Amino acid sequence: MSIRTLLRILLCHIPTGVIVAAMVVVVAAQVIRDRNFVLAMLFYVPVWPVAAVAVLWDLLRLGRALPLRWLLLCLGIGLGIISVGMLWSPARVPSAGESRPAITVLQWNVQWGGRYMQRSLDAIVGEIQRHDPQIILLSEAPPQQWLMYTWNLNQPGWRYAVHEFKPGGEYWFRMTVLSRWPVRQTDYWRLPTGRAALFEVATPYKPIVVLMVDLESAPWLRREPSLLAIAQIVDQLIADGIRVDLIAGDFNAPARSLGFDAILRSGIGFDRAAMWSGQWRATWPSQFPMWDIDHVLIRRGIGVNSAGFFANPATDHRGQVVKILP
């Protein structure tokens, strides 16, 4: 066998082996999920780009990448369909027969006011006002004086409450709740890799209790301990006679992360607002969303009229708008 023939064989079969191995690894990581450091790193690898590479490679090889012709292309298409289905939300039937008006809730990570200072904050405020929410839940919010000055230029009289990092802290966070109605922070917790804070919004219909969450973004940090701690907080609040209506924020954790199951079962149960959107639910990065790391969870028993996602170039996260019937 000549060197040229050997090189041709290697150049044809090594990429195929790498692609097949990558497909097996990313599927295994999604099935086993983020149980340890190595699996967590693999868990964050998006599946559909691997599937797309498999399809393109088999097309380049005219279906001969594997002994059975077009097998790799079929496997890539199948894996791509499954991976897209993992992030594409259904459109559940809206709640009907309710006499009370819906409340519009908006959740958004606004990246400390955006990339371009005042120009970005003006765009963020304009985007929020375009959706006309009554309750606004912001992660990585800008300083409240700056935010409220810009906000009050067009929407005076709103109330707000903030839970934020202390000066000199290693981990920066600022969770802000704004509302047309009175709002106050009632409690807060330190999580293994983040923070949580409890807010109450005094709507004319009933108080809305919101648990805001902000988890650190470093990919090597395990999310499960913090997610389990959130579930325990909700259960303890129920035991104390407090029902959490919404859990929302930047979790920096995909919906399939270990620990989310416990949150969805906590209290009297929660559902993802995204399930009413009928849209792609990945929220980061906003220009090409690949990871669903921002979440709004709604207590079972609360009606949902609609849900949807939006993006604005002023910040790197997509936001969510949900119309609820508390």
Question: 103-325: what fold?
Answer: Deoxyribonuclease I; Chain A (3.60.10)
Q: Dmax of the chain from CA atoms?
A: 83
Round to whole Å and give the CA distance between 312 and 318: 7
CA atoms 114, 116, 122, 123: torsion sign: negative
Per-residue confidence (pLDDT) for residue 196, from 0 to 100: 98
CA atoms 257, 263, 265, 270: torsion sign: negative
Q: How many CB atoms lie within 10 A of CB 206?
A: 11
Per-residue confidence (pLDDT) for residue 220, from 0 to 100: 85
* Domain residue ranges in the chain: 3-87, 103-325
pLDDT band at residue 115, thresholds of 50, 70 and 90? confident
1: its two tokens? 């066998």
> What is the residue-averaged pLDDT of the chain?
92
Interval 141-181: pLDDT, tens: 999 889 998 888 878 889 999 999 988 777 899 999 999 99
Interval 255-300: pLDDT, tens: 999 999 999 999 999 999 999 999 999 999 999 999 999 999 999 9
pLDDT exceeds cutoff 80 at 4: no
Round to whole Å and give the CA distance between 284 and 165: 23
Query: Structure pTM?
Result: 0.92
pLDDT exceeds cutoff 90 at 208: yes
